[in-house]
Amino acid sequence: MTILLIVAILAFVVLVALGLVASTALRRRSSGVEVEPPPTEVAGPEVARPEVAEAPPAEAPPAEVEEVLGPPEVAAPPRLRDRLGKARNLLATRVSSVLARSGIDEETWEELEEALITADVGVSTTTSLLDGLRTRVKAGEITGPDVLLEALKSDLKAIVGRGDHTLRQEPGSTNVWLFVGVNGVGKTTTIGKVGMREAAEGRSVVMAAGDTFRAAATEQLALWADRVEADLVRGSEGGDPGSVLFDAVQRAVARGNDLVLVDTAGRLHTKVNLMEELKKVRRVAERSPAQLSEVLLVLDATTGQNGLVQARQFSDAVGVTGVVLTKLDGTAKGGIAVAVVADMGLPIKLVGLGESAADLVPLDADEFVEALFA
């Protein structure tokens, strides 16, 4: 009897174990673990053509949430004064001894000259500014150090404020804004920030990944396109940036989009082929059905006077319409803003004050110069 009972228990245990094994196998099969991976696509010659990538579909929100979804919102912009970092106070410290003197003498001029050059204003702009002020002192128009400093500030404000500071857009057309500049200055980040601003204003944006030299560059832009909910048009690595622009414009025109923001490669400006490449990209934009309304040179303010050399080369090659001065929040000394406008006659359209979307603001000349002396 006992033996029979033991045999029955053993048989039951074996049956239960077999059942468990069978159900695990079934579960595996249905979860696809044993399914073969899909065949990899073979790259043919047509892969070199840029392909259009849709902005990745957002996860479907509940119906009532969908109603309130609008364009992406940009946080409140930072104040120039709060972000100017190293630039702020630089001139104030340097010129404090000028104010401490009872009158205007040779030492006054030497101190002002040194202060301006140290702040990156540049030799030629400094010389012409001080020559103008000397003449006014001689004419008896400027009488004391405090009036002299106010006159200098007002001259600096007039320079920084020169030119058209708006980003031009022809209403009713698809506008192309081309972003150029050497590597690492902040082109891709600036495109992301500009895209956020424009989308928040209700404009439809297409981003063209014209930096085809590095795959990572496209991925970086794709992240911004995702945030902006912009379409991204990309090419294959090493592909023709002109074709990327062409395809982006075709797509934007067909859909009636307002803006195509074109990223470009930033290899060293001393390499002739980069300039040649950019010239071609510009020509494609000019011949396209869209309106090439801005060619924006992105300059890193921390590179100081070297930025001017870049500005000249890019201007000669692609006809720059304005400057975006980035990284003014870092170690930049700020005077480069004066030099760019005075030496190159290029307006500063926007300044970068940090890495996040809100940290790109129009340059308020008065606030900027006051901050340098505050």
Ligand X SMILES: Nc1nc2c(ncn2[C@@H]2O[C@H](COP(=O)(O)OP(=O)(O)OP(=O)(O)O)[C@@H](O)[C@H]2O)c(=O)[nH]1
Shortest CB 261 distance to ligand X, Å: 12
Shortest CB 184 distance to ligand X, Å: 5
* Cα–Cα distance for residue pair 242/249, rounded to 1 Å: 11
Task: Give 48's DSSP letter.
Answer: G
Binding partner of 189, given ligand X, Mg ion, none, CB within 5-8 angstroms per partner class: ligand X
Residue 85: strand, helix, or coil: coil
Contact 157, 272 (CB under 8 A): no
Contacts with 92 (C-beta within 8 Å, 6 or more apart), sequence order: 372, 373, 374
Q: How many CA atoms lie within 13 A of 87 on its CB side?
A: 28
Task: Give 84's DSSP letter.
Answer: -
The stretch among 85-93, 187-195, 315-323, 340-348 that binds Mg ion (CB under 5 A) is 187-195
Which positions from 189 through 228 interact with Mg ion, judged by CB under 5 A?
217
Interacting residue with ligand X among 108, 174, 175, 189 (CB under 6 A): 189
C-alpha dihedral over 8, 13, 15, 21, to 10 degrees?
A: -170
The stretch among 43-51, 227-235, 248-256, 349-357 that binds ligand X (CB under 6 A) is 349-357
Nearer to Mg ion, 153 or 267 (CB): 267
For ligand X, the nearest residue by Cβ is 352
Interacting residue with ligand X among 330, 343, 344, 358 (CB under 6 A): 330
Interacting residue with ligand X among 120, 155, 198, 211 (CB under 6 A): 211
Shortest CB 163 distance to ligand X, Å: 21
Interacting residue with ligand X among 90, 156, 217, 260 (CB under 6 A): 217
Q: Classify residue 299 as exposed, middle or buried by CB count within 10 Å of its CB (0-12, 13-18, 19+).
A: buried
* Residue keyed to tokens 């930025």: 307
Indicate whether 188 belongs to the interface with Mg ion (CB under 5 A): yes
Contacts with 349 (C-beta within 8 Å, 6 or more apart), sequence order: 165, 166, 167, 294, 296, 322, 323, 324, 362, 363
Indicate whether 277 belongs to the interface with ligand X (CB under 6 A): no
For Mg ion, the nearest residue by Cβ is 188
Nearer to Mg ion, 108 or 188 (CB): 188
Residue 340 has phi, psi (to 5 degrees) of -60, -45
Indicate whether 185 belongs to the interface with ligand X (CB under 6 A): yes
Indicate whether 291 belongs to the interface with Mg ion (CB under 5 A): no
Q: What angle do CA 213, 332, 84 make, to 5 degrees?
A: 115
Q: Which residues would be at the binding site for Mg ion (CB under 5 A)?
A: 187-188, 217
